[in-house]
């Protein structure tokens, strides 16, 4: 079975119990994606599957034949950072950094969701255009916990990237 990870085709024929998270970290050596809770409660393992953010700890690799997976390593490199990566550096959007790859992958997809007009539970008028206020960003990023509590700087970093994209 084949799937694409950061644009590279990989083959998987391992134990069907292997989560996408374990496959990435153990078999592909892509240790940017982190395991926090392994139960869908923290968001540290967030990756993009065909552009959508999901928790890689709660999905099996074997279910992803022909899917395109993007991890933090696929978003940018130290030499060529993604705008969100630069913004997190500029704003100190972390302390220990453990939640950061998940935060950034999540933020990338979250901005795309807003651009596609997806509402959130704090969107007052469900049929109006989406305006990503601080409250909107906080709600939409609530699936990513930060044990260091870098939240306010994370919001600032994401807000910067959102403004720049306008």
- Spell out, one character per residue from 94 to 123, where the chain touches ligand FES: x when CB under 6 A holds, - when not: xxxxxxx-----------------------
From the number of C-beta atoms within 10 Å of its C-beta (0-12, 13-18, 19+), residue 140 rates as buried
Residue among 1, 2, 40, 65 that touches ligand FES (CB under 6 A): 40
Residue among 35, 86, 113, 139 that touches ligand FES (CB under 6 A): 35
The order of strands in the sheet holding 46-49 is 8-11, 2-5, 68-70, 46-49, 52-55
CB of 100 to ligand FES, least distance (A): 6
The answer to whether residues 20 and 43 touch, using CB atoms and an 8 Å cutoff, is: no
Q: Which residues of 77-90 are buried (b: 16+ CB within 10 A; e: fewer)?
A: eeeeebbbbebbee
Using CB under 8 A as the binding rule, whether residue 127 contacts another protein is answered as yes
Instruction: Return the residue matching tokens 């130290």.
Output: 78
Binding to ligand FES in span 62-101, by CB under 6 A: 94-100
* Residues of this chain that bind another protein (CB under 8 A): 15-17, 19, 38-40, 43, 46, 52-55, 58-60, 62-63, 106, 109-110, 113, 116-121, 123, 126-127, 138-144
């Amino acid at each position: 079975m084949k799937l694409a990870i950061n644009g590279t085709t990989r083959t998987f024929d391992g134990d069907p119990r292997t989560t996408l998270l374990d496959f990435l970290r153990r078999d592909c050596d892509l240790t940017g994606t982190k395991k926090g809770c392994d139960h869908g409660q923290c968001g540290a393992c967030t990756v993009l599957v065909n552009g959508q953010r999901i928790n890689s700890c709660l999905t099996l690799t074997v279910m992803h034949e022909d899917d395109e997976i993007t991890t933090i390593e696929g978003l940018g490199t130290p030499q060529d950072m993604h705008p969100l990566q630069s913004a997190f550096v500029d704003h100190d959007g972390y302390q220990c950094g453990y939640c950061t790859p998940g935060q950034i992958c999540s933020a990338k997809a979250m901005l795309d969701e807003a651009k596609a007009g997806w509402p959130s539970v704090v969107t007052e008028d469900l049929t109006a255009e989406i305006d990503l206020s601080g409250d909107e960003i906080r709600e939409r990023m609530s699936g990513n916990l930060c044990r260091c509590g870098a939240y306010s700087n994370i919001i600032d970093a994401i807000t910067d990237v959102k403004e720049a994209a306008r």
